[in-house]
Structure 1
């Protein structure tokens, strides 16, 4: 992924539930509606928590990939 694939980034590596989602909640408000936030995390619980966060708050989970011990999400901010 290049920086042209997303507009902002949140590095939550080394943090554990509930910190990644709490940081995501704060950081997504800095992203304009329709723009993409890239989230990198190492906590496996994010595979459950981030999709639920997106569904509950109306954001689009564009992609989720696992690279080694990292979970990488692209989230398009909803209105």
Structure 2
């Protein structure tokens, strides 16, 4: 299994979680995995939209008691 890079965006408001995700993905090779943790409710809409728009795969999206946890594979 591939190593997953973690991004802690808890406490950050829109659009910062997606901007951090974009910045990290830009430096990785296609197929790399990133786990993003965010508390901003808007990320529930923003992250899937960003992935679809930029050609990345949203592997999973879960809500762990208010912390949204996304796993994204770079496209």
Q: Provide the TM-score with structure 2 as the length reference.
A: 0.92
Long gaps (5+) in structure 2: none
- 1:45 and 2:42 equivalent? yes
* SS at 1:14 equivalent: coil
Long gaps (5+) in structure 1: none
* SS at 1:32 equivalent: coil
Supply the distance in 2 between the matched residues of 1:25 and 1:35 (Cα, whole angstroms).
13
The equivalent of 2:58 in structure 1 is 61
The equivalent of 1:16 in structure 2 is 13
Give the number of equivalent residue pairs.
Answer: 75
Q: Provide the TM-score with structure 1 as the length reference.
A: 0.88
